[in-house]
Amino acid sequence: MKSEPPTGDELTRLLGSMKRNVLERVAQEPAPAKRKSVRHIFGLGFGVAALLGVGAGAAFALGVITAPEEDAATVATDAPTTASTEPATTPAPSEYAVTPGQPASRYGLDCGTVVDPALVSGLFATEVAAIDPIVSESGVGIAIPRRAAILAVGGLVCEWSNGVPMNEQYGVEPDYVGVTISVVPRAAAGWSEYATQHGMPADENQCADTWCWASAAVGDAWVTVSAYGGAELATDASGWQSLVDAVIGAVGSAGPAAAPTVTERMTLPGPEDCDAIIPVDQVASITSTPGAQVMIGSGGWSEWAEARLHADAVGCGWGVDDLSRAARVDWLHEGRWAYLRMLHAEASTPIELAGLASGDVASVRCDERFGTTCAVDLAVGRDWYNVTANDEATAIALAEAVLARLGG
């Protein structure tokens, strides 16, 4: 092993309303020149890792109050019929449809109670509004959004931004202005050995000219707050500290977390887990990669990595070495709700695949800004699988192999 880091007709109507993005069929990993994020500098990211893998307005609490599935189809039907490659210039709406299925916050918090939005907007000279982080992250790159795992384990993620999509996995978007708050509950068995090896959760709080970052252990929660603003970020440090203090106070008062609703995993998957998805020999054949090996994530650590581990959402990669990666499969068990939310980013195209069962759906995403790789997203039962390869045809072939194994 090599180590490295509405179902049915309603869903069909939702998928049918999506339009092919005007970008060419090319995307991501291995990226020829990936940009480093500030998280990279902090040592909290996965380095040049392979493809790994919620805000709320005042009118609703994301993850606590949810809209019926029909609303998701309505939102998609009303969306523009063409995708724009220009960044959004106005804040995203603070209200949007939320699909059922997302676990409730184990702290009983929502984005209206974890902090006063006025403390967020006070950081910037431009307007920001609540936005769904899954949609925001899905607007960049092709991976399962990292923070989906935080929500999957009953954590909380809140984002306010100027509407420009942002996904730190692919670097900091220069036009992005916004704040993200993440709250990860500690597993019943404690923080993972990977977190403790890296001295996490760490107590950190720092600002530079264009960003601020804070991390803290608050009772049984790992809390992080990040802000990016370019020239729009206020330089008054007291505003940032007031925001951080308010979040920490709210989480501290809300804890401890309720009992977990999922079986929490504490160790990384092994080769046998990856062979259950696709045997390594089959990956080598489909990708034309002699000598392919299983490659499982390690590297640095972060709050989202901790949540992903506990959610049993650490995926499998295959390749010869870090520079010759051939394929990757990530998943989010019970994550169909997140897949449906991803569709609202309008960055994917529905496709038909051999082996796709009735009620299951597939779509493909590519993003030419990050290389030549594409990903096929599968909503199989209640789970979300994300299959990537170095071209679209290979990704499709691998996705069909995954479907065959799941159906077998």
When the pLDDT of each residue in the chain is averaged and rounded to a whole number, the result is: 79
| 141, 170 contact by CB (below 8 A) | yes
Enter the CATH code of domain 271-407.
Answer: 3.40.1000.10
CA neighbor of 143 nearest in space, from 304, 356, 272: 304
Sorted by where each begins, the domain ranges of the chain are 37-254, 271-407
Mean pLDDT of 67-95: 36
Q: Residue 124 carries which side chain, given as an amino acid letter?
A: F
Give me the residue label for tokens 């404690």: 190
Contacts of 408 (CB under 8 A, 6+ apart): none
Give the β-pairing of 178-185 and 221-228.
Answer: antiparallel
- Give dist(CA 88, CA 145) in Å, integer: 19
Give 193-250 pLDDT, tens digit per residue. 999 999 999 999 999 989 999 999 999 999 999 999 988 887 677 899 999 999 999 9
| 72, 132 contact by CB (below 8 A) | no
- In this prediction, residue 124 carries a pLDDT of 93
- Give dist(CA 111, CA 113) in Å, integer: 6
| 335, 152 contact by CB (below 8 A) | yes
Give 271-287 pLDDT, tens digit per residue. 999 999 999 999 999 99
Helix/strand/coil for 38: helix
- In this prediction, residue 235 carries a pLDDT of 61
